[in-house]
Structure 1
Amino acid sequence: MDVTCCSSTSRVVTMLPDKDGPSALGGGVQGDLEMAEHPSVSLFREYLRLKTVHPDPDYDAALRFLERMAQKLELPMKKVEMCHGRMLAIITWTGTNPALKSVLLNSHMDVVPVFQDNWKYDAFAAVKDAEGNIYGRGTQDMKSVTIQYIEAVHRLKAEGKRFPRTIHLMFVPDEEVGGHKGMEMFVKHPEFQALNIGFALDEGLANPREPFTVFYGERCPWWITVQCPGSPGHGSRFVENTAAEKLHKIINSFLDFREQEKTRLNTSQCLTLGDVTTVNMTMVKGGVAYNVIPAEMDVTFDIRIPPTVNLQEFEKQIQRWCKEAGEGITYEFAQKHTNQDMTSTEDSDPWWKAFSATFKTMNISLEKEIFPAATDSRFIRAVGLPAIGFSPMNQTPILLHDHNEYLSEQVFLRGIQVYQELLPALASVPALPGEV
């Protein structure tokens, strides 16, 4: 049934595959050049052209596309509406032993806005240049991974493969705006519990060098606004105890700490961005007129805190900065994540062993890191499930959210092959203690 966002129930729709549906090539092929390209690349470019961009993402178009993919795979697709206008989709490939914990392949449908004047091509035209680079919002974050999942499963099914564990392909909304009406709600839902998940894959980042990067944890995002009250007055006077003076001290405290962390990162060969705390001032508000000293000024910071940092001690430090800056200063959080769970990357862990052994077999090196930003993996880990962030993009600049985001078609195609090797390994992990 249809429900509001605050309801604990959702509308669930199950669609069975239609073998007489649209072509497996996915359509969207234009011109002689595209007719000659790999069908998986054509499908990728078609998906890129769907404008699932905030603030008004066309999720209906994405869901229609995914329905076709379910038909192509000859697998059922279930849609779950978490709240009005926010629906996720799950394509399920049932294993030979459904009682075993399943493998989740998660991806998000939405993409961030673009500043078109800064792009070489239309950000939603999926232009492929002479070098085979495909330009478009979402090429790296993360429509490539969505199609790689689908194409890897399609190839494995075409080979007649079956595996003990069920594989779920899940496509969620609103990851780029915090996941509050997507994964954050869904992990608390009975439909999520019914998936019987044992291990999850989600998005990662490109690596400009030869190795692939894998992420086993994330920094906690804190979005904080500090309110600095002060004495108002005429702009011609030396008024004491002004909001601006307090604001100045607050900004200095936060940015001095920022500089310390930046120095720590730049002087250590062992640290990555995910190992330090980043602080960035993002908004300043206050004032009503040129000649009026304001009674309050506010400043907002985006803070990302590694799982190795004691969050209680860090907040106490913020409280000290506020106290030192003057009387009456308060702060409030727009976002304050506190889950610091990390996924095991020990060789004794059966999921990590299956994951890492696949790359050893392919003679591909891995670099393990803490994810510097935030993904839906944090909600999966928060309910006690292991999750690895991984996007098979190496020898590729990191361009998520950037102008001229692109991905080489050869890197994209190789990523499908990687998942063709990885999925059988994960879906064939032997029964674990407590499993039937």
Structure 2
Amino acid sequence: MARWENIESVQLFREYLRIESVHPNPDYEPCVAFFRRYAASLGLPMRVVEAVPGKPVVIITWQGLCPELPSIMLNSHMDVVPVYEEHWTHPPFSAHLTADGWVYARGSQDTKQLAIQHLEAVRRLMTAGVRLRRTVHVTVVPDEEIGGAEGMHAFTLTPEFRAMNVGLELDESMPPAHCGNDIVVFYGERTSIRALIKMSYKLLSNYASDLSRQHVIDTYRVERRDSILGRVLVQILVVRGRGYCLATLLSRCSHAI
């Protein structure tokens, strides 16, 4: 274990993971303080922008040789989703390090490791004497796990963001449904799993029959052809006061998604 514990980047990673910036009430101030120390150790300036009070966006900047060029923005988020400790092998904010180098903590994949990777990449380039033509902004935003309305979205509407003149941004994402001939590059913190879902008319129609007739205000029947399913007949029940539509497949089918 000592092999890993003595690596500075691992120490910084574990320190960051121990900050409980967890929903529903994340405390972002310890994260901001952590990045102030980090930026100071790199000799880089750091700014904090709060487009919404209490929602800080951290910006650490490595200025390029041609700052007038569009910049590079390396983004991650500091908030993490809730935890259920009874399902964890190790406490979720202990940043437990195993002898073979695994770190267990909430946020270790989504996405506290990204900020460390971005800043350590900058550190290595600076140590090697590399100077880039373009300015690099390492940003860390709040509230990504709840949609980012008061985090990244609000930040993009500020004059501070416009002044950054971002030409390329690298972030976590997922493959778009249609990207044409474009090559999409992003960080994917998970891999997808293809699941086989089987549905039948009998199962769903029994469920539909349990609904009170007075709640069903309209029905639609739509027939379509599908390359996998063949002929599919769908009945949609619009249900009053339930906040959803119940779709009933009238043909027995199975479909991989």
TM-score, normalization by structure 2: 0.71
Could you tell me which residue of structure 2 aligns to residue 298 of structure 1?
243
1:160 matches 2:105:
no
For residues 33 and 211 of structure 2, the distance between their equivalents in structure 1, rounded to whole angstroms, comes to 62
- Residue 298 of structure 1, CA deviation: 2.1
**CA distance, structure 1, for counterparts of residue 161 and residue 168 of structure 2:** 13
- Within-5 A mapping of 1:20-39: 33=2, 36-39=5-8
8 Å CA contact retained: 2:52, 2:154? no
Opposite residue 77 of structure 1, the aligned amino acid is M
Q: Which residue of 2 aligns with 1:386?
A: none
1:138 aligns with 2:107: yes
Q: Does 1:51 align with 2:20?
A: yes
* Structure 1 alignment gaps of length 5 or more: 1-31, 206-212, 217-237, 265-285, 287-294, 302-320, 322-436
Structure 1 counterpart of 2:119, one-letter code: I
Aligned length: 206
Q: Contact 2:58/2:140 (CA < 8 Å) preserved in 1?
A: yes
1:176 aligns with 2:130: no
Match of 2:214 among 242, 247, 269: 242
Q: 1:88 aligns with which of 32, 57, 69?
A: 57
Ranked by relative contact order (alpha carbons within 8 Å, sequence separation 6 or more), the top structure is 1
CA contact (8 A) 2:4 2:10 kept: no
State the AA in 2 paired with 1:298. Answer: G
User: What's the RMSD between the two structures over aligned residues?
Assistant: 3.2
Map 1:112-151 → 2, pairs under 5 A: 112-151=81-120
Provide structure 2 residue ranges, at least 5 long, that are not aligned to the other structure: 175-183, 188-209, 230-238, 248-257
In structure 2, the residue matched to 1:61 is 30
When residues 246 and 135 of structure 1 are mapped into structure 2, their CA distance, relative to the original with a 3 A threshold, is farther
Matched, 1:99 2:68: yes
Deviation at 1:82, TM superposition (A): 1.1
**Alignment TM-score, normalising by the size of structure 1:** 0.43
Q: For 2:167 and 2:151, how far apart are their aligned partners in 1?
A: 20
Query: Helix, strand or coil for the counterpart of 1:89?
Result: strand
Partner of 1:73: 42
The yes-or-no answer on 1:41 pairing with 2:10 is yes
SS in structure 2 of the partner of residue 105 of structure 1:
strand
Does the aligned pair in 2 maintain the 1:34–1:42 contact within 8 Å? no
1:200 aligned residue: 169
Q: Map of 1:378-397 to 2, 5 A cutoff? A: none
Q: Which amino acid aligns with 1:142?
A: T
| Shift in Å, 1:33 | 3.6
Whichever residue aligns with residue 155 of structure 1, its letter is R
Cα separation, partners in 2 of 1:36 and 1:185, compared to 1, 3 Å? closer
In the TM superposition, residue 83 of structure 1 has moved relative to its aligned partner by: 1.4
Residue-by-residue CA offset, 1:214-267 (whole Å, 9 max, x unaligned)? 449xxxxxxxxxxxxxxxxxxxxx997421x459x69x99xx99xx89x68xxx
Q: Secondary structure at the match of 1:75?
A: coil
Match for 1:128: what amino acid? L
SS of 2:244's partner is strand
